[in-house]
Structure 1
């Protein structure tokens, strides 16, 4: 409970998840109480040895006391193991409750934010919280308030012993708060620079071929060196703060132990305390102040976990879990776009402005226009990748946010402009990694993309591993597999963004046939085209320019309008669209 309060006072999903471990947290508190009471055993044993055994020279008494303190230490070690395992169980429970939500958060954040920064930060934050809970930091923080209990026992020995320990304890607590205050800024800087450094490393790794071919290795290395120097400087500042204050705390605690011993000696000289009180008081002071040293030593991980808790709570609050939705019937009628305006993540200017059109079942539209006219942005809005800034996209009357995302995905086939496959087999990629996918459905999708024969020529057929991002396949093969993935399950809406950019003549013929099959079964196709040949299978054309829909009409009518208008033509080097 104390750890939870230290991490955050705000009500959040994380606190709700932690509260479900209430019984375990109460158990940790009870065990901590027993452990700290048992810590008195060593001090009492020392006092009795000096005050009873030595004056009486009684060996049986000494052995009896030894047996009792041994039992105390055994119980103490057992309870310590149980407490550490309970804390590990709490950490595992928190991770089990939140990891699915955190993964969903990473996915949704990647759709709504610019690509800068570390996109896996929520996962790192949850890892930091879990690692803190399984470490020695929580136990130290839980034991820290017991400092005043032990100081109270010292007051029972003699008020001056209590006053000495209390003064030293307050100084150590002041060092703890100073550690907290001075560690916050360098910890935050190190975390931010670490994320930037990780992002840079991912970028260089992803674009390694380009960096090598264009002679950019030294410049990339210079950028890496610069950010690494700042990162290491922040780490060094953090180490200096925590190391300096940690050393000061440790040395002062040793001095305070000697100070208590000195005060006890003076009391014995004056006849106000027994000899056993000297050593018992010194031993008890050391045990009482040990959690302070441990807390300062773990303060860096505590700060990191607390910042991760706050950061993750803010993200979870900004993107709450999707509510349960009534399952809508499969769409079969139309796609309606109503005054749709889209703003790319991280941008201020819209890339699509006030777009409106309607497609009925069995229709296919080719989206054309110059570069940066908003074509790819439009299709991202149609499949729900980007949420509308204004307006709506409706399928059979329901806006996309009225569908559960997984339910909607079954009715959408999407082939993005930049094709990437997931690490797995060809069959798994075509089936969208559905564990319940039937072989017949997978093969049917491959046949629609005219990919079946090509797959059979791969080393292991449908079980061929595509590698990370599909690197084991050629660009054309990746695009064909991604097309089959888009067609899997006979989705109602099929959206293809430049699907023929890496296709040969055979691949383009397969694409045209697939579009005609979708139309024949009553589906809708939206096709972004830069090559005129792709438009042979559509009956409508939508022309975009300057982020707006300039025309939406039958194919031949729009093509006649754009004839001779270079600004509305697709990429240079292709024949005029009307030749299609």
Structure 2
């Protein structure tokens, strides 16, 4: 982690993306210099008109100056237009460089820490940075260095006018710092409350059936109103803090402009300044203070982008990109070994699995049984590399999972995924077609391999009877399919590509008798081709095709071995210690009895 932090501080993805844009920023700075020089056109034009044209009453001079002024203004507008387009492209370029990394973080974050707030906050943070870079806020920052040059020109007109402008500028700068101090807390609170509100709304949407069936609508609406009220209050506080100071800065700048005219008039009266210099000084001062006022007006976007930058930098530092293995290991063919494995949920320190160990060879199938909260699903997640072994405070690691002797972290995720099939307890299909879900969105997938996986799962006949067959859109989360259809399609997805290790977490939870038969056939087919199957079982039919059983209680292995032996041992404890074990696993005995009864029938 120390190395990851160093990389994040000195060469993180966000910093690197901005560094690659440094030549563009340099070009924008040159454009800004030309724009700010051309911005003097109006003041110089008025100075010449009042001090040369009017006293001489020369129309040709007025026409020439006017044509020159129009050309310079057109050049100014064109350069400003180009600068805006370039900055908007910079925002897109940053997005292009980081969008895949941000999406990877969104996927990895729930597996490394406890979920809090809105899970899509990193995506919104990247959107905020892109939007700010594409707006007027950054252009004001490029204009700020030119303020001393404008003030120097005013000093050349008259020192008193220069001092007056400097004093006004210092007041506006002070207002900028006041804006920062007053808005920092409210904007941070508004971002946090917005994340909580969106997370709650998404949870209510996903559980709409439960909400409707159990009449939770009004109660959840009350909770939503509370979260919404907090968010609106935070937004109003932030808006009031920034808006009030912005109004003060506008009024003060108008006062400065009028005060400049009044001071200039006094200097003309006493003979220290020409009439044209009054107008020129007023225009130049207005231009010099405009970047400060623009910065105040866009301060909210600047603070939000800065907070987004910090959050993304911290995420990239905490979740460094996984290195691409330079050497690709050969496909596993012989064994699965679990060595002293201890696992804790993401973000938790207390383990739910303690020193779990067992080994399986090619062609074997393991059924994992145990009461609720015994760690069965946690073990399934560890076997497929979703949850990492618990790291101790020292240099040791809480065991490991090995395929053919190689720990899972020696494979890149994309490479490892080709050798693993996983059917989680909570099934989620992705929006797309049935075929796309089965082939794991593999663009190189062939029809033969997709159909082969469907046949292996016994779901081919079911799919071809769907309205569009394999091209049927499953909808968000697979909502267009029944629970049983989703489970069987997910089983086909787990079997796609003939992976070596297949982990099925309660694979028959939503299956009918035909589905149970297809599941047993699939397990036996995997064993026949030399694969390994691990089944988390609550229903006895899931154990029909397996040959070994592992009993888990309170995260510890209570028994492991041949199915018949383990079931007989748990049904007929031979010692007081075994009796205590059996009593602790009483919730599991129903599964054992059901399996025995099924075998007898």
Task: Report the TM range for the smaller structure's normalisation.
Answer: over 0.9
User: Which residue does the alignment assign to 1:483?
Assistant: 491
Tell me which of 498, 503, 506 is aligned to 2:514: 506
Post-superposition offset of 1:209: 1.3
1:57 partnered with 2:75 = no
Give the secondary-structure state (helix, strand or coil) at the position aligned to 2:442. Answer: coil
- Which is worse superposed, 143-152 or 219-228? 143-152
* Cα distance in 1 between the residues matched to 2:350 and 2:516: 35
Residue 424 of structure 1 pairs with residue 432 of structure 2: yes
The answer on 1:386 being equivalent to 2:394 is no
Q: In the TM superposition, what is the alpha-carbon distance from 1:482 to its structure 2 partner?
A: 0.4
* Structure 2: distance between partners of 1:230 and 1:554: 58
Secondary structure in 1 aligned to 2:544?
A: helix
CA deviation string 1:101-129 (max 9, x = no partner): 11111111121122331111111100000
Using the size of structure 2 for normalisation, the TM-score is 0.94
Other-structure match for 1:543: 551
2:385 and 2:558 mapped to 1: Cα distance?
23
Determine the C-alpha separation between the residues in 2 that align with 1:55 and 1:572. 110
Q: Specify the SS of the correspondent of 1:268.
A: helix
Structure 1, residues 279-307: CA drift from partner, whole Å, max 9, x if none? 11111111111111111110000000000
The number of aligned residues is: 573
User: Which residue number in structure 2 is paired with residue 5 of structure 1?
Assistant: none
| Contact kept? 1:563, 1:578, Cα under 8 Å | no
Alignment of 1:4-403 (within 5 A): 11-325=11-325, 326-389=327-390, 390-403=398-411
Which deviates further from its counterpart, 205-214 or 77-86? 205-214
Q: Distance in 1 between matches of 2:216 and 2:589?
A: 29
Task: State how far apart, in whole Å, the 2-side matches of 1:198 and 1:560 are.
Answer: 52
Name the CA distance, whole Å, in 1 between partners of 2:139 and 2:321. 32
Residue 447 of structure 2 aligns with which residue? 439
Once the two structures are superposed, what CA deviation does each residue of 1:359-378 show, in whole Å capped at 9, x if it has no partner? 11111000000000000000
TM-score (norm 1): 0.97
* Deviates further, 252-261 or 142-151: 142-151
- Check whether the contact 1:569–1:576 (CA below 8 A) recurs between aligned residues: no
Measured against aligned partners, the alpha-carbon deviations of 1:235-256 in whole angstroms (never above 9, x if no partner) come to 0000101110000000000001
Mapped to 1, the partners of 2:384 and 2:139 lie a distance apart of: 49
Find the residue that maps to 1:284 and give its secondary structure.
helix
What corresponds to 1:463 in structure 2?
471
Q: CA deviation at 1:440?
A: 0.4
Q: In the aligned structure 1, how far is the partner of 2:102 from the partner of 2:147?
A: 37
**Distance in 1, Cα, partners of 2:379 & 2:423:** 13
8 Å CA contact retained: 1:368, 1:569: no
Does structure 1 retain, via aligned residues, the 8 Å contact 2:570–2:589? Answer: no
Give the superposition deviation at 1:573.
6.8
What SS class does the counterpart of residue 73 from structure 1 fall into? helix
Structure 1 gaps, min length 5:
1-7
Query: SS state of the match for residue 305, structure 1?
Result: helix
Of residues 423, 432, 451, the one that matches 1:415 is: 423
